């Protein structure tokens, strides 16, 4: 069980962030607004060794995140996975961050699409017992139905935090990349700093 004595949480928000979008930061800010115990959201971009189509370099994705996170004292971006010689498993990342932030309870943000596969992840029992998991609804997923139909999730549902107010962010980075390739504007889809960075470095063309 997660220790209840730690009053403040740091929530780990992992992903490709290829590129980071307004919807990513909107979700993070909404979580902070909704839960007073969340002290900070840490964005953790995956290593480029992660097998994903069109994944640009670690440094570009890190720098785009940093441009935005530097403007919000509640946001931080971590190099923990991109500086690793291999792609870390989620449980490894969380344990390393818990060691770093000993005065906080580390939690994890997970989309409902990935919730369905959680039992197949590396060391899932350890992950769900040691870390609270905030579940973000994706598309038309019924989170309660997903939990009810999965014995692993049902057995550990006390570790899952379902948002009191539905937070939906279904805009995909692949959609934005496609618009860039088509020469279309992505204004209002990504932060202005990210758009300027993409233009300067001619990314996704």
Instruction: Answer whether residue 4 shows pLDDT above 60.
Output: no
The strand ranges marked E within 34-132 are: 38-45, 75-77, 105-111
CA dist 28 and 13 (Å) reads: 8
Domain ranges of the chain: 9-171
Q: Residue 118 gets which letter from DSSP?
A: G
Q: Which residues of 84-121 are buried (b: 16+ CB within 10 A; e: fewer)?
A: eeeebebbbbbbbbbeebeebbbbbbbbbeebbebeee
Q: What is the pLDDT of residues 81-118, one digit of tens each?
A: 999 999 999 999 999 999 999 999 999 999 888 999 99
The pair of three-digit structure tokens given for residue 112, joined into one six-digit string: 């409902």
- The predicted model scores a pTM of 0.92
CA dist 204 and 19 (Å) reads: 9
**List of residues 6+ apart from 177 with CB closer than 8 A:** 18, 19, 54, 204
Q: What is the pLDDT of residues 24-44, one digit of tens each?
A: 999 999 999 999 999 999 999
9-171: CATH architecture: 3-Layer(aba) Sandwich (3.40)
């Amino acid at each position: 069980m997660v220790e209840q004595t730690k009053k403040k949480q740091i929530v780990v928000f992992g992903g490709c962030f290829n590129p980071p979008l307004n919807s990513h930061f909107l979700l993070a800010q909404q979580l902070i607004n909704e839960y007073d115990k969340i002290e900070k959201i840490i964005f953790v971009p995956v290593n480029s060794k992660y097998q994903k189509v069109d994944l640009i370099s670690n440094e570009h994705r890190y720098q785009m995140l940093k441009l935005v996170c530097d403007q919000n004292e509640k946001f931080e971006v971590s190099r923990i996975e991109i500086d690793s010689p291999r792609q870390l498993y989620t449980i490894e990342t969380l344990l390393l961050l818990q060691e770093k932030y000993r005065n906080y309870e580390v939690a994890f943000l997970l989309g409902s699409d990935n919730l369905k596969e959680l039992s197949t992840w590396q060391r899932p029992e350890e992950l769900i017992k040691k870390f609270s998991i905030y579940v973000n609804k994706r598309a038309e997923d019924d989170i309660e139905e997903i939990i009810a139909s999965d014995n692993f999730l049902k057995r550990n549902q006390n570790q899952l935090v379902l948002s009191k107010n539905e937070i939906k962010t279904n805009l995909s980075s692949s959609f934005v990349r496609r618009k860039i390739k088509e020469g279309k504007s992505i204004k209002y889809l990504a932060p202005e700093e990210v758009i300027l960075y993409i233009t300067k470095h001619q990314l996704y063309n």
